């Protein structure tokens, strides 16, 4: 059994809610697992404003994790500060025990200093992904911040990945892609995409409820959540989500 710990949307430096205690709780939980997960994946919105101070705090949190680590940026991140502050490239391939994690960069640069919330991979990155997937038939996970399809939340659907159909066309060619891991939506959710499971990692700083639910649009009182993806020897993935009590 191969186990992926999946944490998303830590939003270090968030103005509405300091996530420090929530992050400590999440890491305490991961470190208490015995055996420990094989890998920690963080699917973006690591920092809230993308400052050097936020990335220094995020790096200190990540440094508590003793195992392999895979991180990609989200719309709240700033690419250069992310790379400099975390020491992690915005796009990367992480290989652990015969499993490959293709970490994509769906961050669209700010325009005139204004953050762009929708995501885009672009033709060059999609071509890179196609080549990277074709180079190895080990079980692969495609990881990015933005969900590439609608998920039924009015706040999130307009700011999804704009070239989701193009990403699906690439994944269609590679049957060894086990699942697609995303963040951005701040909810413990799952759907199918390109015939594969699309797994949303939850949210540390807040949860975004369904429109029908009687909660704030961005629900800061909701507990921090994370996902544990269990991959069996046949490559079948089972996800268990956890919400942790911060009180
Ligand atoms: Fe977020
Ligand atoms: Fe986001």
Q: Pairing relation of β-strands 92-96 and 99-103? A: antiparallel
CB atoms within 10 A of CB 17: 16
Q: Residues with Cβ within 5 Å of ion ligand 2?
A: 45, 74-75, 184
Cβ–Cβ under 8 Å, residues 39 and 4? yes
The DSSP line for 133-162 is HHT--S-EEEE-SS-SS--S-TTTGGGSBT
Q: What spacing in Å lies between the alpha carbon of 146 and ligand 2's midpoint?
A: 7
- Residue 246 scores a pLDDT above 90: no
Distance of alpha carbon 9 from the chain centroid: 7
For residue 107, the ligand closest to its alpha carbon is 2
Write phi, then psi, for 62 (nearest 5 degrees).
-60, -30
* SS3 per-residue string spanning 22-62: HHHHHHHHHHHCCCCCCEEEEECCCECCCCHHHHHHHHHHH
Q: Assess contact for 146 and 118: CB atoms under 8 A.
A: yes
The band of 109, judged by pLDDT with boundaries at 50, 70 and 90, is: very high
Q: Residues with beta carbon < 5 A to ion ligand 1?
A: 9, 45
- Please name which of 30, 24, 14 lies closest in space to residue 220, comparing C-alpha atoms: 14
Whole-angstrom Cα Rg for the chain: 17
Extract the tokens encoding 118.
């929708």
**Mapping DSSP to helix (H, G, I), strand (E, B) and coil, where does residue 92 land?**
strand
- Using the mean position of ligand 2's atoms as its centre, give its distance from the Cα of residue 1 in Å: 30
Listed residue (182, 185, 186) closest to 207, CA to CA: 186
Q: How far, in Å, from the CA of 234 to the mean position of ligand 2?
A: 32
Task: Give the ligand with the smallest distance to the CA of 9.
Answer: 1
Nearest ligand (C-alpha, residue 14): 1
Span from the CA of 157 to the centroid of ligand 2 (angstroms) = 12
pLDDT of res. 124? 98
Q: What's the CA-to-centroid distance between 59 and ligand 2, angstroms?
A: 19
Per-residue tokens: 131: 């080549």
pLDDT in tens, 114-125: 999 999 999 999
Cα–Cα distance, 134 to 177 (Å, whole number): 11
Q: How far is the CA of 174 from the centre of ligand 2 (A)?
A: 27
Q: Which pLDDT tens digit goes with each residue over 97-108?
A: 999 999 999 999
120 alpha carbon to ligand 2 midpoint, in Å? 12
Dihedral-angle region of residue 9 (phi above 0 means left; psi in -120 to 50 means alpha; beta otherwise): left
Whether this model's pTM surpasses 0.85: yes
Whose atoms come closest to the Cα of 73: which ligand? Answer: 2
The per-residue pLDDT for range 163-215, each reduced to its tens digit, is 999 999 999 999 999 999 999 999 999 999 999 999 999 999 999 999 999 99
Domains of the chain: 2-243 (3.60.21.10)
The residue whose two tokens read 């268990």 is: 240
Cα 183 to averaged position of ligand 2 atoms, centre (Å): 7
For residue 15, pLDDT beyond 80: yes
């Amino acid at each position: 059994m191969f186990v992926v710990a999946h944490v998303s949307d830590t939003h270090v430096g968030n103005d509405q809610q300091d996530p420090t205690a929530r992050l400590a709780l999440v890491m305490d939980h991961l470190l208490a697992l015995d055996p420990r997960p094989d890998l920690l994946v963080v699917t973006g919105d690591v920092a809230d404003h993308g400052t050097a101070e936020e990335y220094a705090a995020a790096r200190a949190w990540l440094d508590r994790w003793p195992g392999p680590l895979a991180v990609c940026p989200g719309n709240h991140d700033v690419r250069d500060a992310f790379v400099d502050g975390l020491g992690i490239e915005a796009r990367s391939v992480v290989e652990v025990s015969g499993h490959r994690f293709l970490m994509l960069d769906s961050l669209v640069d700010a325009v005139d200093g204004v953050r762009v919330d929708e995501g885009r991979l672009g033709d060059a990155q999609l071509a890179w992904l196609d080549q990277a997937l074709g180079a190895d038939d080990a079980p692969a996970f495609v990881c990015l911040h933005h969900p590439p399809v609608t998920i039924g939340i009015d706040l999130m659907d307009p700011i999804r990945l704009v070239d989701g159909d193009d990403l699906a066309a690439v994944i269609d060619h590679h049957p060894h892609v086990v699942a697609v891991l995303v963040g951005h939506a701040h909810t413990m959710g799952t759907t199918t995409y390109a015939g594969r499971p699309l797994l949303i990692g939850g949210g540390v700083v807040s949860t975004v409820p369904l429109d029908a639910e009687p909660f704030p649009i961005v629900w800061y009182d909701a507990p921090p959540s994370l996902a544990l993806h269990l991959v069996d020897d046949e490559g079948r993935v089972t996800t268990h989500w956890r919400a942790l009590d911060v009180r």
